[in-house]
A and B are shown apart, each in its own frame.
Chain A
Amino acid sequence: MNNNVNISDRGSKSLIRFVISELKPRGKIFTPFNIISGLIILLSLVILVIRFAKGLGSVADASQLHPWGLWISFNVITGVAFAGGAYVLTFMVYILNMKKYHSIVRMTVLWGFLAYSFYAGALILDLGRPWNIINPIIGNSFGLSSVLFLVAWHFILYIIAQFIEFSPAIAEWLEAKRLRKILVSLTIGTVIFGITLSVLHQSGLGALFMMAKAKIHPLWYSEFLPILFLISSIFAGLSIIIVVGSICQKVFKNQLKSDYGDSYKNIVFGFAKICAVAMFVYLFLRLLVLIHSQQWALINTHIGYWFLLEILGFVLVPFIFFIYGFKHRSMLLIHIASIMTIIGIILNRLNVSMIAYLWNDPLAHYPTWMEIVVSVSVILAQIWIFRWIIYRMPILRKSPDWVPEDEEK
């Protein structure tokens, strides 16, 4: 689109002019998606004004027994699991040197970076006293014994790490050749740092609930919760990348190289295999936990059937679909499996943090419609920024010609 514009010898003034020109929207503005999502985002802005003026209870289900509502349970705890694709893929590409997956790395890291940024943002919306958010960061009061402290710090550091991993694309966009060279040299270091951070905070999200031992239903609570969260983030992240990648392939056709379709199929088959392996380990561990806890009797209760639905319906079935899809080279089956896996992860995270949390509380708690609107608009805003970047920076399309061939992406 703007590829034919010559902007190689750009001064700082023209750089600003270039960025401003890039801020303008591309393509049709009034598409159905834009109108609907725009309205939802506007509505959620109104809701947020009320929330900050009158307190959290004016818009959210204000429950003293369920202190964490939809914004934490869905956007933060579930959303971060879905952002796990970035660490898995950077591990495969940069650590194991699997060149096949190189073409999708940027998109995945971008998705991860935006997911973390927006979901950390959702966390701030949920904080009762957000003006004190600086306290655990600047060190005047480090709560070092807190798992949440670890998770908060790892979020911040990982957002920075992902930004650096992604930054060569920005340098290519701005035609900043020397900067790009420096940023590319940082990649491997930040990848190693980022994977370590991810392993720790993906499991850390599970460890958040370790002290809620007496509150979470025994079918979900176990000491293995951190490990289960970590393993499930592998197939959660890859499933969402399969879905997002396939949507991108349809929506951003003009951005793609002509041979992208075939290599993309190969990538998806590879992902399906990894998902199946990770899901096998996950299922095995959950079975082990169940046997260990010796709580078979609990299965034959209402919440026990709910547990079976999560495990059998949305882990075991997509697991089988992934294997079949991989064996018979069926993109359709793999897509169905990915969507089911995504539903299964949402179920699992919501179960641990909301549904099976104080399951015996006689008062039922449901998120308000206002909470749901804000939750959805956080994701919509993420998609808007994602699209804006893909149209402008070399994420799916080829890097500019001045980028050395072997360094591309």
Chain B
Amino acid sequence: MSINRRDFIKTIGIAGVTLTVGNELLAAPKKEEKEIEFSGILIDTTLCIGCRTCEHVCAETNGLPDTSDEETGSNRQPTEKQLCVINTFNVDGNEIFVKKQCMHCNQPACATGCLTKAMKKTDEGPVIWTANKCMGCRFCMINCPFDIPKFEYHSPNPKIQKCKMCFERLKEGKKPACVENCPAEAAIFGKRRDLIEIAKARIYAEPDKYYHHIYGENEVGGTGVLYLASVPFEKLGFKTNLGATPYPEYSKEFLYAVPVIFTVLPALLLGMHSASKSENNKIEKEESYE
């Protein structure tokens, strides 16, 4: 994780030259020294019984309307009023329940794209949103590969709503509400590194029960929320075409080019200007001789 973190900071550091603010680049490495372990959540869909207690406590914790009497389906999405949802899938006659919420990526596209740092990856692991920084441009929604951030379109003072892994509770030393209240222990909270170990151990212990893949281990450079399942993930509504490249990489090439263009192009233009100017003067002089 620390390696991912370092890459992420490097991207930010390089991007600092966006405005040829050189000192940002120098400031970045200091942060790099810190060893950071992200926390995450492992969701074992083979254990989930679909009781939707997590939906209920999530609404309660975040002060949102309770929607546990709403009907389930296979394509419910988190909304601005409902930060996590349980979807039901029928695969080969078996009902499988999948919790959907923010994935808390190691290198989140939403935070990389945020021009005010309102969306940010905390050192603890959750990706959180800060109201007094956000200007509501909704670029995070464009960037998020999982379409998670939701915008309160019908409010004059709109907020971006998404799961924050109960960041306030984590600071008090508690677990996220959904994990703490899960009666089936389908979700466990811990350091991401440990969670991957646990997930692997489960697959090794019962190789016939599990589909041999941990969703989120490598997807988009690794996510804070990890999933185990008994069937291939595309059957459970997961996006399996996202690749393992961390999303900030996609705009990095462009941002790398910025300082180069910013230094080379003006010099080139100035050179062309003086060249064409002296050329013109020469022609004029020659004409005046005639």
CB atoms of B273 and A148 under 8 A apart? no
CB atoms of A214 and B239 under 8 A apart? yes
* Residues of chain A lying within 8 A (CB to CB) of residue B242: 214
CB of B147 within 8 A of chain A?
yes
| Contact of A146 with B113 at beta-carbon distance under 8 Å, contacts A128-B135, A129-B134 already known | yes
Q: In whole angstroms, what is the CA distance A147 to B256 when docked? A: 11
CB atoms of B136 and A144 under 8 A apart? no
Q: Name the residue on A nearest B8 (C-beta).
A: A145
Q: In whole angstroms, what is the CA distance A73 to B258 when docked? A: 24
Chain B interface residue number, banded: 35 or more
CB distance from B275 to the nearest CB of A (A): 9
Of the listed stretches B11-19, B39-47, B93-101, name the one at the interface; the rest are far from the partner chain.
B11-19
Contact with B along A145-156 (1 / 0, CB 8 A): 111111011000
* Residues of chain A lying within 8 A (CB to CB) of residue B134: 128-129, 132
CB atoms of A135 and B247 under 8 A apart? no
| Contact of A146 with B139 at beta-carbon distance under 8 Å, contacts A62-B153, A196-B265 already known | yes
Q: Which residues 122-179 in B have Cβ within 8 Å of A in the complex? A: 131-139, 141-143, 145, 147, 150-158
Q: In whole angstroms, what is the CA distance A126 to B21 when docked? A: 29
CB atoms of A54 and B154 under 8 A apart? yes
CB of B32 within 8 A of chain A?
no
CB atoms of B145 and A214 under 8 A apart? yes
* Residues of chain A lying within 8 A (CB to CB) of residue B15: 144-146
CB atoms of B253 and A223 under 8 A apart? yes
Q: Which residues 1-58 in B have Cβ within 8 Å of A in the complex? A: 11-12, 15-16, 18-19, 21, 24
- From A129, A141, A144, A153, contact of B24 by CB (8 A): A144
- From A52, A123, A153, contact of B156 by CB (8 A): A52
CB distance from A228 to the nearest CB of B (A): 13
Q: Which residues 190-219 in A have Cβ within 8 Å of B in the complex? A: 191-193, 195-196, 199-200, 203-204, 207-215
Q: Name the residue on A nearest B276 (C-beta).
A: A97
Contact with B along A55-73 (1 / 0, CB 8 A): 1111010101101100000
| Contact of A147 with B254 at beta-carbon distance under 8 Å, contacts A57-B154, A129-B136, A133-B135 already known | yes
* Residues of chain A lying within 8 A (CB to CB) of residue B280: 97
Q: In whole angstroms, what is the CA distance A140 to B136 when docked? A: 17
Contact with B along A65-99 (1 / 0, CB 8 A): 10110000000000000000000000100111100
* Residues of chain A lying within 8 A (CB to CB) of residue B133: 132, 135, 140-141
Q: Name the residue on B nearest A94 (C-beta).
A: B273
| Contact of A192 with B273 at beta-carbon distance under 8 Å, contacts A148-B137, A200-B262 already known | yes
- From A65, A96, A130, contact of B136 by CB (8 A): A130
CB atoms of A207 and B254 under 8 A apart? yes
CB of B285 within 8 A of chain A?
no
Q: In whole angstroms, what is the CA distance A228 to B118 when docked? A: 30
CB atoms of A67 and B142 under 8 A apart? yes
* Residues of chain A lying within 8 A (CB to CB) of residue B141: 64, 67
| Contact of A145 with B250 at beta-carbon distance under 8 Å, contacts A67-B138, A135-B116, A200-B261 already known | no
CB of B114 within 8 A of chain A?
yes
Q: In whole angstroms, what is the CA distance A363 to B136 when docked? A: 24
CB of B79 within 8 A of chain A?
yes
| Contact of A68 with B138 at beta-carbon distance under 8 Å, contacts A136-B116, A141-B118, A211-B112 already known | yes
| Contact of A150 with B19 at beta-carbon distance under 8 Å, contacts A127-B135, A212-B143 already known | yes
CB atoms of B147 and A65 under 8 A apart? yes
| Contact of A146 with B115 at beta-carbon distance under 8 Å, contacts A55-B155, A127-B137 already known | yes
Chain A interface residue number, banded: 35 or more
| Contact of A55 with B152 at beta-carbon distance under 8 Å, contacts A96-B276, A204-B254 already known | yes
| Contact of A62 with B251 at beta-carbon distance under 8 Å, contacts A128-B138, A146-B113, A148-B139 already known | no
CB atoms of A149 and B266 under 8 A apart? no
Q: Name the residue on B nearest A124 (C-beta).
A: B135
* Residues of chain B lying within 8 A (CB to CB) of residue A135: 116, 118, 133, 135
- From A64, A133, A150, A191, contact of B258 by CB (8 A): A150
Q: Name the residue on B nearest A157 (C-beta).
A: B19
CB atoms of B116 and A62 under 8 A apart? no
CB of B272 within 8 A of chain A?
yes
- From A132, A141, A145, A152, contact of B11 by CB (8 A): A145
Q: In whole angstroms, what is the CA distance A140 to B133 when docked? A: 9
CB of B205 within 8 A of chain A?
no
CB of A142 within 8 A of chain B?
yes
* Residues of chain A lying within 8 A (CB to CB) of residue B145: 211, 213-214
Q: In whole angstroms, what is the CA distance A50 to B65 when docked? A: 26
Q: In whole angstroms, what is the CA distance A304 to B133 when docked? A: 41
CB of A332 within 8 A of chain B?
no
CB of A53 within 8 A of chain B?
yes
B binding-site residues for A, Cβ under 8 Å:
11-12, 15-16, 18-19, 21, 24, 77, 79-80, 109, 111-118, 131-139, 141-143, 145, 147, 150-158, 239, 241-242, 247-248, 250-251, 253-255, 258, 261-262, 265-266, 269-270, 272-273, 276-277, 279-280
3 tightest CB-CB pairs across the interface, nearest first? A128-B136, A57-B153, A62-B153
Q: Beyond the given A55-B152, A129-B136, could you list 8 further A-B residue pairs with CB under 8 A, ordered by the A residue number?
A: A60-B153, A65-B147, A67-B142, A129-B157, A136-B135, A141-B118, A153-B18, A213-B250
